[in-house]
Amino acid sequence: MSLAVATEVAVSPEASRRRTFAIISHPDAGKTTLTEKFLLYAGAVAEAGAVKARAGRRRATSDWMALEQERGVSITSTVLQFTYRDHVVNLLDTPGHRDFSEDTYRVLSAADAAIMVLDVAKGIEAQTLKLFEVCRTRSLPVLTFFNKYDRPGRDPLELLDEIEAQIGLRPTPVTWPVGIPGDFRGVIDRRDGSFIRYRRTAHGATTALEERMDAQRAAVEEGEAWRVAREATELLDEVGATLQLDSFLAGESSPLFVGSALTNFGVRHLLDAIVDLAPSARPRADDAGVLRPLDAPFSGFVFKIQANMDPAHRDHVAFVRVCSGRFVRGMTLVHGPSGRPFSTKYAASMFGSARDTIDVAYPGDAIGLVNASGLQIGDTLYEGEPVAYPPIATFAPELFASVRPRDTARHKQFHRGLAQLEREGVVQVLRDPDGDPTPVLAAVGAMQFEVFVHRLADEFGAEAELVPAPYKAARRTDRATSEHLRAVPGVRTLARADGTLLALFDSPYRLQRVEQDHPEWCLDPVLQGPESG
Ligand code: G4P
C-alpha cells in the first residue's frame, strides 16, 4: 500500500470523530460556565471549583483567557479541544461582551454546529439573535440549552413559542424539566419517558449526581411536579415537537435540553447530544459548489486572524479550519489566492497565552499558523488538486466613524496602516467613490475601532482621529438601488475596496421605512457570502 493510500484511509475515521461547534449566547447567559462544565464532564479538569475573581474576569478582553488565569487550565482564546467518549470536540470561541466583533461571526463559518444557550429568565436576547442569523445563513444545525433552571424564570412552554416566533427555529425538547424554575428536580428524557433526578454537589465542583427511574416511581415520588411535566410533554407529543434528525441537520428544528450549568444539571445530556446528534466534519463545498472529499489532500480556509496586541509578540496568527486531508506540520501548502507556496513550520494550537505546537490535524480541527502575515480572512490553503472555498459571509455593520490622521505629515504611514488593517478585516473601510475622500470605518463591535486605533499608532506610527459618523444601520445594495437612494434624505452610499456597495441609514426607522416602501430595492443584511455571491 502506498503512503498516499494509507493517508486516505486514516482521514475519514478521524473526521467522523470530530465535532466542531460554537456557543451562541447573550452575555451572562452562561457560556463560560457551560464551557467550564464541558471540561469537567470530559475529564479535562478534575474539579470545577467555584469561579473566583469574577470582577477581574469582567475586565479581561477574552472570557477564556481570563477563565484560564482563574482556573489554571489550558483554554485557548480561539479553539478549545477535548476528547469525550472517544470523540474529539473542538469548541470554537465566539468572542462576547466587549470584544463582540466581526470575528464573532467569522468563527461561526468554521463551525459545524452551534449550541444556543438561553437564560430561562430572559429568553432570546439581542446578541443571540444576531448570532443565530449567522447560523441561519449557513443552515447550521443548532442545539438549544435552557440554562439557569435552578432559579426562578419563565414558563418553558412560553419560551418555546418565543423561539419559534422570533427566529423561526422549531424547538424539539429532548429533555423536559420536572419542577418549576427555581425548584428544579430533574428532567423527563422524552426518548424513553424516564425521569432523571439531579442532585447538586457542593458549588457544582464535581459532576451532578443523576438517578434514572421509570415513570411510575417518578409519579409517586414527584407528585404534582411530575403530573405538570407529563402534561406538558403530552402537549409536545401532540404538536409533534419531537426530535427530528433531518430537520435538525438542515437547521430547521433544534433539539432542546434543559438544565443549569452552575449546578451541572443537564450538562451531560448536552455533551452527549453533541456526540450523538451533531454532525461530524463533512465534505465542504468549494466556490463552485463541488464537495471536496474528506480524504482528498489537505485543504482549509482562514477564518480568523489574530494580531497580538502585546508589543512583545507582534505577530499574526491565521486560524485555519481544516476541511480535507491530513495536516502535518512542516508540509508546504499552496496559498490559493497568490498561487505561492506556504510553509507551515510554525503551526500551533493556541492555548491562551501559551502555545502548543500542533503536529497533525484532521477535518474539523482548527490550526493556528504563526507569522502568517501574507494570509487574509477567507483565503484557501491546499495541497494537490487546487480548491477555493467560498468567501466568508460578512454582515451589516452597525457602528460607523470617519477617520483621519492626527498628524497630516504622517499620512503615508496612516494610509499604509489603513490598507493593512482593512486587509486583515479588523474593520471595514468605506469610501465615497465620487465625493468626500475621508474614509468611513464600519464595525459590528466598538472594540474593533479600539483595536484599529491602537494598532495604527503602535505598528504604523500613525495616530488617528475617529469621529462618530451619524449612521445607525447599513445594507448591501447595488448600482441601480444606489441611484434611487441618492434622492432619499439621511441615506448615503459608500463602497468597500472589494466593490461592495453599502447604503448607510441615519436611523433604523429610516431603513425600515425604505424597506417597506420599496421592497423591490436591493437592501441585503448579508454583505458577502456564499448565498449573496
Ligand atoms: P457568559 O460567559 O455567557 O457571559 O456567562 P457566565 O458563564 O459568565 O455566567 C454569567 C453569570 O451567570 C455568572 O454569575 C454565573 O455564575 C451565572 N450562571 C451561569 N450558569 C448558571 C446557572 O445555571 N444557574 C445560575 N443560577 N447561575 C448561572 P456571576 O457573574 O458569578 O455572578 P452574578 O452575575 O450572578 O452576580
Q: Which of 257, 276, 295 is the last residue of a domain?
A: 276
Per-residue DSSP letter, 436: -
Q: How far is the CA of 30 from the centre of ligand 1 (A)?
A: 5
203 with 315, same domain: the answer is no
What is the spatial distance between Cα 105 and Cα 33, in angstroms, rounded to a whole number? 21
Task: Write the residue with the smallest CA distance to atom 24 of ligand 1.
Answer: 148
- Largest distance between two CA atoms of the chain: 82
What is the spatial distance between Cα 524 and Cα 510, in angstroms, rounded to a whole number? 15
Q: How confident is the model over 58-80, as pLDDT tens digits?
A: 333 344 444 445 544 333 457 78
Give residue 502's domain range: 399-517
Q: Is the CB of 412 under 6 A from ligand 1?
A: no
111 with 202, same domain: the answer is yes
Q: Are 174 and 257 in contact (CB under 8 A)?
A: yes
Q: Which of 348, 382, 416 is the last residue of a domain?
A: 382
259 with 185, same domain: the answer is yes
Give me the phi and psi of 153, to 5 degrees please. Answer: -160, -165
Is 528 part of a structural domain of the chain? no
Per-residue DSSP letter, 122: T
Q: How far is the CA of 437 from the centre of ligand 1 (A)?
A: 46
What pLDDT score does 395 carry? 79
Nearest Cα to 76, choosing from 304, 290, 324? 304
Q: Which CATH number belongs to the domain containing residue 477 in this structure?
A: 3.30.70.3280
What pLDDT score does 315 carry? 67
254 with 291, same domain: the answer is no
Q: Are 230 and 216 in contact (CB under 8 A)?
A: no
Q: Which CATH number belongs to the domain containing residue 324 in this structure?
A: 3.40.50.300
The DSSP H or E segment spanning 484 is: helix 479-485
235 with 147, same domain: the answer is yes
What is the spatial distance between Cα 367 and Cα 227, in angstroms, rounded to a whole number? 50
Is 303 part of a structural domain of the chain? yes
Q: Is the CB of 29 under 6 A from ligand 1?
A: yes
188 with 290, same domain: the answer is no
Is 11 part of a structural domain of the chain? no
Task: Write the residue with the smallest CA distance to atom 19 of ligand 1.
Answer: 30
366 with 448, same domain: the answer is no
**Is 66 in a helix, a strand, or coil?**
helix
269 with 288, same domain: the answer is no
Q: Are 523 and 514 in contact (CB under 8 A)?
A: yes
What is the spatial distance between Cα 174 and Cα 191, in angstroms, rounded to a whole number? 7
Q: Ligand 1: which of 28, 34, 62, 99 to mutate, judged by most atoms within 8 Å of the beta carbon?
A: 28
The DSSP H or E segment spanning 58 is: helix 54-59
pLDDT by residue for the chain (533 residues), tens only, comes to: 444 444 444 899 999 999 999 999 988 899 988 988 998 888 876 555 433 333 333 333 344 444 445 544 333 457 788 899 999 999 987 766 656 678 788 889 999 999 999 999 999 988 888 889 889 888 999 999 999 999 999 999 999 999 999 999 999 999 999 998 888 999 999 999 999 998 877 767 777 788 999 999 999 999 999 999 999 999 999 999 999 999 999 999 999 999 999 999 999 999 999 999 999 999 999 999 999 999 999 999 999 887 754 555 566 778 899 999 999 988 999 999 999 999 887 666 554 444 556 778 999 999 888 777 788 889 999 999 999 999 888 878 899 999 999 998 999 999 999 998 888 888 999 999 878 889 999 998 888 898 889 889 988 999 999 999 999 999 999 999 999 999 999 999 999 988 889 999 999 999 999 999 999 999 988 776 544 43
What is the spatial distance between Cα 108 and Cα 116, in angstroms, rounded to a whole number? 12
509 with 458, same domain: the answer is yes
- pTM of the full structure: 0.85
Is 194 part of a structural domain of the chain? yes
Q: Name, in order, each residue with C-beta under 8 angstroms of 123's C-beta and a sequence gap of 6 or more.
A: 154, 159, 162, 163
Task: Write the residue with the smallest CA distance to atom 26 of ligand 1.
Answer: 148
Q: How far is the CA of 317 from the centre of ligand 1 (A)?
A: 31
The DSSP H or E segment spanning 187 is: strand 186-189
Is 8 part of a structural domain of the chain? no
253 with 294, same domain: the answer is no
Q: Ligand 1: which of 24, 33, 147 to mutate, judged by most atoms within 8 Å of the beta carbon?
A: 33
What pLDDT score does 372 carry? 78
Q: How far is the CA of 122 from the centre of ligand 1 (A)?
A: 13
Q: Which of 217, 245, 276 is the last residue of a domain?
A: 276
Nearest Cα to 16, choosing from 210, 283, 241? 283
323 with 188, same domain: the answer is no
Is 430 part of a structural domain of the chain? yes
Count the helix, strand and coil residues of the chain and give each as a percent rounded to the nearest 5.
Answer: 30, 30, 40
Report how far apart, in Å, the C-alpha atoms of 212 and of each of 75, 195, 209, 482 are: 33, 6, 10, 62
221 with 348, same domain: the answer is no
What is the spatial distance between Cα 305 and Cα 316, in angstroms, rounded to a whole number? 7
Q: Are 471 and 506 in contact (CB under 8 A)?
A: yes
Q: Is the CB of 31 under 6 A from ligand 1?
A: yes
Give me the phi and psi of 398, to 5 degrees please. Answer: -125, -10
Is 88 part of a structural domain of the chain? no
What pLDDT score does 308 carry? 58
Residues in the chain: 533
Domains held by the chain: number: 3
What is the spatial distance between Cα 421 and Cα 415, in angstroms, rounded to a whole number? 10
Atom of ligand 1 nearest to the CA of 63: 2
What pLDDT score does 446 carry? 83
Taking the alpha carbons at both ends of the chain, their separation in whole angstroms is: 42
Is 143 part of a structural domain of the chain? yes
Q: Ligand 1: which of 262, 264, 265, 267 to mutate, judged by most atoms within 8 Å of the beta carbon?
A: 262
